[in-house]
Structure 1
Amino acid sequence: MAQIKIYGLRDQLNPIKEQLSQVIHSVMMDVLGLPENKRFHRYFPMGTEDFLFSPDRSANYTIIEISMFEGRSDLSKRELMMQLFSRLNDQLNLSPTDVEITLFETPRNHWGIRGLPGDELGLSYQVEV
């Protein structure tokens, strides 16, 4: 399971939402083995008065927060971040300098979904990758 929050300036984020979602989910499938139908993305387009950042970032500055079940290896998490930086740069011209990624891991029994704790779900994919 993974839920993804994406923050950015409204004028920059809104026009690329669909492409950004495609890139992020393709990386999640390729690196972590998430199924095609398990895409949970939330966008937070913000005005300049609500999204302050360092002057060494451009208006394209984007924050990606990924909440997921714990269990992925450090190597998989590192590969996830590196693939996101690479593909966002190649496909959307988002410089790695303008992308910040944070991973939040939750024990499965701390995540309620479909009426059950996450550790009681019958998942169609592997978490331990």
Structure 2
Amino acid sequence: MAQIKIFGIKEKLNPIKKQLSEVIHSAVVDAFSYPPDKRFHRFFPMNHEDFIYTDDRSDAYTIIEISIFEGRTTTAKKQLIQLLFQRIANHFAIAPQDLEITIFETPKQNWGIRGVPGDELQLNYKVNI
């Protein structure tokens, strides 16, 4: 399972939401061997006054938060981060300085999905990769 939140200045984020979702999802699929039909993205376009950051960031500053089940290897998580930096820079000219990525891992039993705790789900993909 992966739930992804994307935060940015609304004037920069809104025009690229669909494409950015595609790029993020492609990285998750490649790094985690994730099923292509499983996509859960939420966008948070923000006003300038509600998104405070340091002067060394531009208006393209974007934060990506990824919540996943525990179990992926450090190698898989690093690959995801690297793919996101590469693909986002290539598609949107968002510099690494303007992109922050955080992966939050929690045990499956801390999730509730389709009426059951996450550790009781029958998944069609592997988490321990």
Q: Give TM-score, length-normalised by structure 1.
A: 0.98
1:104-119 equivalences in 2 (<5 Å) = 104-119=104-119
Query: Partner of 1:126: helix, strand, or coil?
Result: coil
Question: How far off its partner does 1:92 sit?
Answer: 1.4
Number of residue-to-residue matches in the alignment: 129
Separation (CA, whole Å) in 2 of partners of 1:36 and 1:102 = 21
Q: Which runs of 5+ in 2 are unaligned?
A: none
The alignment yields a C-alpha RMSD, in angstroms, of: 0.5
Separation (CA, whole Å) in 2 of partners of 1:106 and 1:116 = 16
Question: How far off its partner does 1:91 sit?
Answer: 1.3
**Corresponding residue of 1:41:** 41
Q: Residue by residue, what CA displacement relative to the aligned partner does 1:26-69 show, whole Å, maximum 9, x if unpaired?
A: 00001101111110000000000100111101100000000000
Query: Partner of 1:68: helix, strand, or coil?
Result: strand
Moved over 4 A (4+): none
1:1-129 equivalences in 2 (<5 Å) = 1-129=1-129
Identical-residue share of aligned pairs (%): 57
